[in-house]
């Protein structure tokens, strides 16, 4: 499993086993779907890609010709050419994931460890464990979320292949970056619409984070949009990696805007950054006090090495972040804010009932509130949507489900033989390898990805498993051992890292013994070039995309996936419904 931002500060203990990758034997030839009704506003029409790099390798975002659907048939079934005229829609919806709304001024941010994984690190080797804990565009995540809502609204009335309206949107977790109350409220209010969104915390009079130009706190390891303070050298993002100077950005990023809101029902799943501090640590009082307090670590004392940090925090227990402060790392004063407090799973569920959008609770139920759980199911026509909670409350970035949820899932599938089934979760099956059981937190046995895959394959009416977590566009064919079909596992990129996309998913009946699942990528509404406009949240989202694409640790990551992971038609034999 690749290590990335999400695996920040994890233990080196290997937990459980990952599901085996299915051998892919798909057709790589693009298949242009005939009869498309509305490719506009999707990547069928145009794509946003990396342009020619300039100084420091910094490149513009450029507009490229759209990408047709590619046919994949690993699950079997014959692709009858006549299906383009006989297919009828079953369900269409939007998949959004890994929004990662960041309170960039929070004392709980760990930007200072990122330097140990940069190419320009002076001594310590790059090993990946502390990588990407800082992003230059972190102050713009709310604007990206708003721009994504607006983009999905442009296609809500007609999915690009079937022409049917989108029935709903679903967020599959990590809507918050650090399980803070203010981050959850931002997400809910952006999705609901009609709210004044204030992308700020602490004092509302100035930005207090690692990117500001306060001379005493100035650190060249972070991008500073404004000119350097007198006597200070340009930061490494500018001098080495070609990042631009954008005077006034920090004030512009904190400017309130009114959210448009999704024009359709929306649902939510629970991710590790929604349930664990930094996506890894169980809640404790000391960590909550750091989050709401006035001391923020921003840099590293000379002489403190990567090994020192790893020794302090490698245990990945509740005291790890507090222990890091024992290294006498430099701190700065910031304005405290009680709205930065960490919230529990039950409190996250409760917040989704404080909404003006539909449905109330956004999938979470009164039973979830009573049982302190975050898994549920809902029906849309002939489709049963099952939403799992794959967060291990005992800690770590990777996932699993508890024994009680496995029993619930098994029973529910047995009761769903008359429906097509789509399963949703934050983690992929391959990242459900976390079997940790910790005394005093949750003593239930943990169920890992391979066992869940086996259960889903034992139910022929399961047609797809839709998830996030990896920040990458990926699609796998999960086949039965006897070769008699299976289901598609569909993994969508994040809002925070390039390519900052969502995915439209359409299930159609071809009336020839097969079903097709069409997936179509959607870029958020931010322009390819922001044009120097700082007074509009959508323009700022365009700048955020450009900065994300040029992230020094992400430039060659390939998280946009291959053509067979993006705009595709996924053929499957039609299961018999009982």
Residue 331 lies in a domain: no
Q: What pLDDT score does 309 carry?
A: 64
Between the CA atoms of 169, 174, 180 and 181, what dihedral angle is there, to the nearest 10 degrees?
A: 10
Dist. CA 246–CA 159, nearest whole Å? 37
**Residue among 108, 104, 387, 323 at smallest CA distance from 222:** 104
Question: What integer pLDDT is reported at residue 324 of this predicted model?
Answer: 53
Tokens of 130: 């502390």
Total domains in the fold of the chain: 1
The answer to whether residue 285 is domain-embedded is no
User: How does DSSP classify residue 574?
Assistant: P
Q: Phi/psi zone of residue 329: left (φ > 0), alpha (ψ -120 to 50 degrees), beta?
A: beta
Q: Is residue 291 part of a domain?
A: no
pLDDT tens digit sequence for 399-432? 999 999 999 999 999 999 999 999 999 999 999 9
In a domain, 19, yes or no: yes
- Tens-place pLDDT, residues 290-343: 899 999 988 877 766 666 666 655 554 445 455 555 556 678 899 999 999 999
Looking at residue 554, its pLDDT comes to: 87
Assigned domain for 371 exists:
yes
Cα–Cα distance between 210 and 493 in angstroms, integer?
26
Residues 295 and 154: their CA atoms lie apart, in Å, by 43
β-bridge mates for residue 50, sequence order: 61
Answer whether residue 214 is part of any domain. yes
Q: What are phi and psi of 191, to 5 degrees?
A: -70, -40
CATH of the domain at 566: 3.60.21.10
> What pLDDT was estimated at residue 297?
86
The parts of the chain modelled with pLDDT lower than 70 are 1-38, 117-132, 303-329, 439-441
Q: Write out the two tokens for 144.
A: 């990206």
> Whole-prediction pTM value?
0.91
CB 281 within 8 Å of CB 321: yes
Task: Provide the H-helix boundaries in 279-402.
Answer: 285-292, 306-313, 320-325, 345-351, 366-371
Contact 491, 471 (CB under 8 A): no
Q: Indicate the SS3 state at residue 385.
A: strand
Rg (CA), the chain: 23
In a domain, 50, yes or no: yes
Whether residue 329 lies inside any domain: the answer is no
Identify the domain containing residue 48 by its residue range: 5-120+133-275+343-573
Q: What is the length of the chain?
A: 578
> What is the pLDDT at residue 439?
61
């Amino acid at each position: 499993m690749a290590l990335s931002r999400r695996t920040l500060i994890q233990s080196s203990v290997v937990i459980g086993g990952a599901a085996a990758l299915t051998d892919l034997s798909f057709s790589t030839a693009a298949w242009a779907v005939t009869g498309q009704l509305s490719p506009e506003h999707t990547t069928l029409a145009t794509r946003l890609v990396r342009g020619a790099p300039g100084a420091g390798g910094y490149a513009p975002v450029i507009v490229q010709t759209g990408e047709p659907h590619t046919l994949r048939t690993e699950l079997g079934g014959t692709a009858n050419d006549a299906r383009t005229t006989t297919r009828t829609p079953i369900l269409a919806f939007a998949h959004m994931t890994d929004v990662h709304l960041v309170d960039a001024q929070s004392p709980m941010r760990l930007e200072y460890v990122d330097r140990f994984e940069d190419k320009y690190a002076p001594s310590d080797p790059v090993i990946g464990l502390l990588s990407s804990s800082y992003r230059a565009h972190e102050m713009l995540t709310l604007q990206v979320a708003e721009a994504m809502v607006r983009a999905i609204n442009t296609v809500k009335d007609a999915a690009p292949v079937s022409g049917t309206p989108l029935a709903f949107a679903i967020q599959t977790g990590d809507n918050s970056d650090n399980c803070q109350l203010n981050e959850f409220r931002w997400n809910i209010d952006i999705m609901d619409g009609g709210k004044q969104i204030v992308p700020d915390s602490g004092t509302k009079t100035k930005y207090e984070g690692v990117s500001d130009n306060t001379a005493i706190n100035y650190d060249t390891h972070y991008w500073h949009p404004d000119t350097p303070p007198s006597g200070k050298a340009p930061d490494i993002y500018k001098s080495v990696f070609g990042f631009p100077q954008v005077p006034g950005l920090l004030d512009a990023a904190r400017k309130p805007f009114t959210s448009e809101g999704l024009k359709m029902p929306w649902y939510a799943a629970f991710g590790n950054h929604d349930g664990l501090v930094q996506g890894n640590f169980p809640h404790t009082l000391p960590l909550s006090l750091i989050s709401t307090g006035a001391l923020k670590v921003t840099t590293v004392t000379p002489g403190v090495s990567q090994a020192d940090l790893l020794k302090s925090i490698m245990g990945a227990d509740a005291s790890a972040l507090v222990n890091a402060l024992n290294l006498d790392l430099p701190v700065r004063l910031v304005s405290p804010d009680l709205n930065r407090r960490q919230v529990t799973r039950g409190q996250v569920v409760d917040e989704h009932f404080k909404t003006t959008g539909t449905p109330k609770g956004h999938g979470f139920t009164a039973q979830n509130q009573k049982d302190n759980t975050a898994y549920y199911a809902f029906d849309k026509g002939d489709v049963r949507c099952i939403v799992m909670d794959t967060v291990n409350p005992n800690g770590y970035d990777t996932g699993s489900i508890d024994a009680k949820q496995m029993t619930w899932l098994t029973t529910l599938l047995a009761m769903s033989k008359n429906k097509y089934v789509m399963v949703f979760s934050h983690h992929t099956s391959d990242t459900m390898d976390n079997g940790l059981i910790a005394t005093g937190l949750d003593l239930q046995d943990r169920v890992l990805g391979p066992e869940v895959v086996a259960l889903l394959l034992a139910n022929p009416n399961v047609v797809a498993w839709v998830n996030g977590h990896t920040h990458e566009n990926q699609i796998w064919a999960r086949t039965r051992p006897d070769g008699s079909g299976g289901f598609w596992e569909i993994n969508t990129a994040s809002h925070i890292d390039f390519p900052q996309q969502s995915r439209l998913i359409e299930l159609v009946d071809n009336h020839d013994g097969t079903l097709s699942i069409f997936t179509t990528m959607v870029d958020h509404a931010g322009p390819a070039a922001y044009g120097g406009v700082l007074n509009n949240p959508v323009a700022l989202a365009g700048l955020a995309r450009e900065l994300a694409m040029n992230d020094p640790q992400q430039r060659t990551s390939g998280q946009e996936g291959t053509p067979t992971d993006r705009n595709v038609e996924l053929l499957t034999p039609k299961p018999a419904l009982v």
